[in-house]
Structure 1
């Protein structure tokens, strides 16, 4: 069962990273953009590390507080939840 969690997290983090890259390309070309809600949602569902890496690698959304502060906070909450669950299982 735990293997599925790792595969899920790997996939959702790759997805988040790719979404930030695609949105950056679309921004450069003045094309239809990926909604900010979708980018944030990709972090919330477990892709926060991929979202942070995408923000840094593509230099995208780094000046928007919603992302620059929000995504790392999401990551910290997720780490806290994992720690709490592991502590509760002992």
Structure 2
């Protein structure tokens, strides 16, 4: 879990650096996949620390949707474990 969060965090930092240099960027879909694979905490920390992708609404909505889906999965897994 720590590895995917580090990768996601680093991807946000790399994308920010590339954006500032006006170079080819990391795809938004790649950033979202990293988050979906468990790197949501790394994505949120990277966004805040690098001040990156914070005002881009379509991206923000998608990231929030990934986080909400993961929370629903976690709640479902916890509820299943408790009722077993």
Do they fold alike, i.e. is TM over 0.5? Answer: yes
Runs of 4+ in structure 1 over 4 Å off: none
Provide the aligned C-alpha RMSD in A. Answer: 1.2
What are the ranges of 5 or more consecutive residues in structure 2 without an aligned counterpart? none
What are the ranges of 5 or more consecutive residues in structure 1 without an aligned counterpart? 1-8
- 8 Å contact 1:21–1:54 — kept in the other structure? yes
Could you list the per-position Cα deviations for residues 14-71 of structure 1 after superposition, in whole angstroms to 9, with x for gaps in the alignment? 1111000000001111112111110111111111111111111101111111222221
Count matched residues: 82
TM-score by length of 1: 0.82
TM-score by length of 2: 0.87
Structure 1 match to 2:48: 56
